[in-house]
């Protein structure tokens, strides 16, 4: 196995400096940024900051405005209301629109259970709702040069509640739209309240929407000078015609497009290349129309924009330049921003970061842009998010706002570093490594999470495992990035993850960094699947933790009502599975239900109420044999987001791996029953192993 130059291992590292520990609560209560948007005159930037409060089990969100040159601190001008979330639990991007005169910002907010469009004065003199509609606002825009506000709504709040109550009173009819396996009446937090959900969309994925979400949009317009309100007809909703990249001579599958609002130009990203068993084509092509009248596009063909993982594009205001972001998988998803001049063809680097430099925590979100500068949210493995200005001419960076400064000082003493390595087949992998703080030269235990590790990692995808806290408790932690692309063959997909895990364990143990007999692993979603696969198909783990279920016959049964196109096709395409009777061998290879005897490590399961029932056919047997411990979190979707739940998950995972990898028990009397149960699990598993319950096919 080849060791690449970027890997610098410090064998026998002694990290014993006295530092303030990064506690799990610190990682829950990180302040995050959303939507930096520059004013029309290019002098101001508006952005939202949202931060969890464990004590109140909620999130505080506030809108700020700041001079783009950073000459004065940011000015808080309005509350942001309840943080709205998508169906998996991630916060929705907080869209903000500036008035043309730079005096106001408009944004969507939920306050007192109502989603309206609000307007806040930039000078901080006040904020007020503008729509006052009986239904929640779905989308909005300013029109007629800022003189009118246009918005769309669906069913009224009262209609939704009445429909929910009618189902309760008369019985809920089970059909393909009903998410079987979770509470059916007002069981999930949607828009800040417990609501009834249905499946939405036509794909295989479990896309959840509120009841009556399929009611068509009703569009309204408000005259901002007079307050007059009118309903909009289809003829009122004219917009610039879209131009498909193929009609402009651009090859590949359309992926992203962005229009120059002032010049009528369009830039595209399209996917190109041979899929070869991947979900998407492997490469990205950058192209654009050079002016608003031309109909044939040009393509960026220089080395700086070809063969690169381009993930975002936007026009530089007032210039002939497209700004594009490269998220480099070989550098641990670190980002760089480039300028492509569509007139001269020149491409140049603007700024290169060690982590994310984007519009928020989402790597594909855009920085705010003016003619002279970008305003970006930056974050890296050892530094939490902060707001920075980047000069577009010289690339110089200037910190505008750093609400996480105290945590950044503590994280500066945590020696995080990027690892890059290869397995025996020559496949390369990257990950963020947190060496254990230890008081001797003895190798440390290791915890691994697998999936994606951009920016300030915290706890891996879903934020479940407090990596810095584990390291400071004496357990080295590693977050591994999956390789680019999505292999459609599930066995190959999981095998690649297992190869990453085994090869890095070999590497770190050979260098004396870790004790290969004390390795734990955890994951959510795809990371959970790879964790279970590693537990089933190898003997490298001593303990595991998962945050979501993997495939089982019970999951198939509960989802099969969705039908052939909505569910069964995706199951076959991405896992090679038909019904359990139709594809028996494939089910036996993939599902834990048929591999229970191969699982000899204790598994902590901390799953959302929305999903835990899907896996009861392997959860219950493992629990019954004292090989698993299951906790279910009410009213949570795929990714848990309630602050108290997040903290409970972090702390229990920390306790779990300290118990199994270090033999440590927290003396806090509140946890007495927890450890009593885990000791019973340990004794039962030892007895089972002594009786010959060895795993086959390791």
Mean pLDDT of 624-635: 97
What does the alpha-carbon distance between residue 475 and residue 453 come to, in Å, rounded to a whole number? 18
Q: What's the pLDDT at 93?
A: 86
Counted residue by residue, the chain has a size of 698
Which band of pLDDT confidence, cut at 50, 70 and 90, is reported for residue 104?
A: very high
Mean pLDDT of 189-214: 84
Q: Which domains occur in the chain, in start order? A: 31-157+217-234+243-407 (2.130.10), 408-552+591-688 (3.40.50.1820)
Q: What's the pLDDT at 4?
A: 41
If phi over 0 gives left and psi between -120 and 50 gives alpha, with beta otherwise, what is residue 675? alpha
Mean pLDDT of 283-299: 91
Mean pLDDT of 172-194: 90
Which band of pLDDT confidence, cut at 50, 70 and 90, is reported for residue 48?
A: very high
Mean pLDDT of the chain: 92
Give me the phi and psi of 483, to 5 degrees please. Answer: -70, 160
**CB within 8 Å of 344: residues ≥ 6 apart:** 320
Per cent of the chain over pLDDT 70 is: 95
HSE-CB at 11 with a 13 A cutoff on CA atoms is 6
More confident residue, 234 or 19: 234
Mean pLDDT of 120-141: 96
- The structure tokens 């200037």 sit at 398
Q: What's the pLDDT at 306?
A: 95
pLDDT at 696 over 70: no
Q: What's the pLDDT at 19?
A: 53
What does the alpha-carbon distance between residue 81 and residue 78 come to, in Å, rounded to a whole number? 9
pLDDT digits 0-9 by tens, 426-471 = 999 999 999 999 777 899 999 999 999 999 999 999 999 999 999 9
pLDDT digits 0-9 by tens, 527-572 = 999 999 999 999 999 999 999 999 999 999 999 988 777 789 999 9
Q: What's the pLDDT at 566?
A: 78
Mean pLDDT of 53-66: 97
CA-to-CA dists, residue 578 to 548, 572, 614, 688, angstroms: 22, 6, 17, 34
CB 518 within 8 A of CB 540: no
pLDDT at 191 over 80: no
pLDDT at 3 over 70: no
DSSP code per residue over 232-300: PPGGG---PPP--GGGGT--SEEEEEEE-TTT--EEEEEEES--TTBSS-SEEEEEE-SSSS--S-EE-
pLDDT at 598 over 60: yes
Is the pTM here over 0.85, yes or no? yes
CB 481 within 8 A of CB 500: no
HSE-CB at 127 with a 13 A cutoff on CA atoms is 22
Q: What's the pLDDT at 10?
A: 35
Q: What's the pLDDT at 240?
A: 60
Q: At what angle do helices 490-510 and 526-537 cross, to 10 degrees?
A: 70
pLDDT digits 0-9 by tens, 296-308 = 999 999 999 999 9
pLDDT at 324 over 90: yes
Q: What's the pLDDT at 690?
A: 79
HSE-CB at 632 with a 13 A cutoff on CA atoms is 15
> What does DSSP assign to residue 565?
I
């Amino acid at each position: 196995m080849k060791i690449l130059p970027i890997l610098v291992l410090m064998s026998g590292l002694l990290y014993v400096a006295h530092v303030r520990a990064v506690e799990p609560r610190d990682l829950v209560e990180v302040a995050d940024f959303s939507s930096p948007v520059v004013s029309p005159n290019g002098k101001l930037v508006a952005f939202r900051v949202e931060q969890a409060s464990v004590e109140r089990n909620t999130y505080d969100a506030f809108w700020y405005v700041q001079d783009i040159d950073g000459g004065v601190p940011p000015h808080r001008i309005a509350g942001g209301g309840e943080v709205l979330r998508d169906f998996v639990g991630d916060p929705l991007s907080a869209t903000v629109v500036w008035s043309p005169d730079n005096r106001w910002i408009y944004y969507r907010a939920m306050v007192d259970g109502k989603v309206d469009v609000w307007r806040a004065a930039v000078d901080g003199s006040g904020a007020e709702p503008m729509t006052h509609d009986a239904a929640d606002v779905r989308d909005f825009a300013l029109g007629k040069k800022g003189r009118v506000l246009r918005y769309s709504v669906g069913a009224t709040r009262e209609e939704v509640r009445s429909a929910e109550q009618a189902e309760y009173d008369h019985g809920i009819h089970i059909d393909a739209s009903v998410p079987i396996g979770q509470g059916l009446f007002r069981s999930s937090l949607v828009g800040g309240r417990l609501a009834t959900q249905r499946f939405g969309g036509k794909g295989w994925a479990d896309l959840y929407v509120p009841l009556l979400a399929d009611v068509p949009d009703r569009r309204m317009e408000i005259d901002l000078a007079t307050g007059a309100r009118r309903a909009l007809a289809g003829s009122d909703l004219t917009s610039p015609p879209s131009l498909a990249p193929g009609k402009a001579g651009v090859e590949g599958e359309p992926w992203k497009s962005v229009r120059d609002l002032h010049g009528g130009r369009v830039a595209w990203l399209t996917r190109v290349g041979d899929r070869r068993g991947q979900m998407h084509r492997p490469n990205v092509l950058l192209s654009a129309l050079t002016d608003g009248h031309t109909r044939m596009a040009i393509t960026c063909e220089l080395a700086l924009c070809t063969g690169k993982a381009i993930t975002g594009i936007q026009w530089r205001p007032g210039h002939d330049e497209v700004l594009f972001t490269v998220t480099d998988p070989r550098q641990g998803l670190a980002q760089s921003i480039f300028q492509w001049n569509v007139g001269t063809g020149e491409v140049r680097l603007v700024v290169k970061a060690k982590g994310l430099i984007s519009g928020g925590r989402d790597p594909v979100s855009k920085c705010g842009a003016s003619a002279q500068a970008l305003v970006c949210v930056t974050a890296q493995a050892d530094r939490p998010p902060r707001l920075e200005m980047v000069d577009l001419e010289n690339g110089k960076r200037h910190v505008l706002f750093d609400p996480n400064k105290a945590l950044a000082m503590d994280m500066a003493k945590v020696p995080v570093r990027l690892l890059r390595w290869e397995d025996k087949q020559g496949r390369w992998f990257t990950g963020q490594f947190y060496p254990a703080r230890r008081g001797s030269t003895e190798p440390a235990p290791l915890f691994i999470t697998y999936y994606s590790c951009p920016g300030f990692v915290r706890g891996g995808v879903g934020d479940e495992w407090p990596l810095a806290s584990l390291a400071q408790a004496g357990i080295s932690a590693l977050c591994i990035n999956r390789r680019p692309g999505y292999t459609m063959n599930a066995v190959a997909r999981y095998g690649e993850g297992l190869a990453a895990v085994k090869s890095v364990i070999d590497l770190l143990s050979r260098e004396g960094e870790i004790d290969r007999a004390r390795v734990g692993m955890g994951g959510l979603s795809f990371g959970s699947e790879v964790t279970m696969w590693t537990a089933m198909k190898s003997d490298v783990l001593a303990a595991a933790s998962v945050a979501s279920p993997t495939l089982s016959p019970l999951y198939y049964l509960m989802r099969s009502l969705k039908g052939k196109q909505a569910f069964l096709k995706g199951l076959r395409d991405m896992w090679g599975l038909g019904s359990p009777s139709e594809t028996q061998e494939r089910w036996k290879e993939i599902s834990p239900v048929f591999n229970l005897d191969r699982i000899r490590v204790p598994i902590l399961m901390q799953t959302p109420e929305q999903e835990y029932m899907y896996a009861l056919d392997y959860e219950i047997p493992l629990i019954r044999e004292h090989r698993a411990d299951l906790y279910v979190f009410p009213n949570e979707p795929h990714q848990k987001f309630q602050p108290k739940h997040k903290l409970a998950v972090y702390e229990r995972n920390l306790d779990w791996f300290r118990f199994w990898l270090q033999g440590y028990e927290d003396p806090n009397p509140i946890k007495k029953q927890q450890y009593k149960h885990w000791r019973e699990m340990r004794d039962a598993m030892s007895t089972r192993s002594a009786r010959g319950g060895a795993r086959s096919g390791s």
